[in-house]
Amino acid sequence: MHQFTAMAQPVPRTSDASSVAETWAGRRVGITGAGGELGRALTRRLRERGAWVVALSHRPKPRELNSLTGPQEWICWSCGKEDELDSTLSRLDVLVLNHGINPGGDQSPESLNKALEVNALSQWRLLQRFEQLERDLRQPAQPPELWVNTSEAEIQPALSPAYELSKRLIGQLVSLRWSAPRQERTNLPKLRKLVLGPFRSELNPIGVMSADFVSGQILWQADLGLPLIIVTPNPLTLLAMPLIELGRLAYNKILWINHHDR
């Protein structure tokens, strides 16, 4: 498997910026959770690179939307109605699954169900729909991509049991898709996992990183071609996450081989 991660470094400001901009120029990027801090930061940076950004949000379109830094399109949707997005998804080059909720310490069945539905099951359904749509379409010159924000809570405490459970579930599902046989992943989008540490947002007002810094790191590591993108000040996550993914890959591959040998 490709090299999993890179240590956090400042986003390079060199003559390579023009080639980076060419990579994104004209590409259609859909972002769920586009109304949140990270969604807005990613939108700004992608617009700077020439991408066409489609916001996918449960929130209504803001009345005052910056035409230079905001998304060019705003699509309202809600969890459970992923099929209504098919016409939009089929026209995307990159889909970023970034929506989520954090119920904090609330451990009621209602909060657990909602967190699992929004943070994991809805993302899983969108992942499958995007893969199926891309499988049915003729492949473009530049392969489509699918990015899933699982958060550092996939392997670290986040002071929110429901949030942690839901992020671990979607994280494991992405790892399973990575482990699929090569022939099964033919004609499917390139899958990237975003493992992000605490950044300041409505979900986490005491985050130690800014959403702008995190978005810059995400795009920088994506431009390096990394499938596992890690942005965190926590050295344990930087060390553990690649090893965990390698362990999952080996485990899942063994089960695939045993299954097909029967």
Rounded alpha-carbon distances, angstroms, from residue 248 to 45, 124, 184, 208, 255: 33, 18, 18, 29, 11
Contact 100, 154 (CB under 8 A): no
Q: Where would I find the beta strands (DSSP E) of 122-221?
A: 145-149, 190-196
Burial bucket for residue 140 (CB in 10 Å: 0-12, 13-18, 19+): exposed
Q: Identify any residues that bridge with 28 across adjacent strands, giving them in sequence order.
A: 52
User: Coil, strand, or helix at residue 55?
Assistant: strand
Choose, from 52, 130, 163, 178, the residue flagged as catalytic: 163
CA-CA distance, 94 to 143, in Å (whole number)?
9
For 141-156, give one letter per residue: b (16+ CB within 10 A) or e: eeebbbbbbbbbbbbb
How far apart, in whole angstroms, are the C-alpha atoms of residue 70 and residue 243? 37
Q: Does residue 251 have an active-site annotation?
A: no
Which SS3 state, helix, strand or coil, does residue 182 take? coil
Q: What residues are annotated to the active site? A: 163
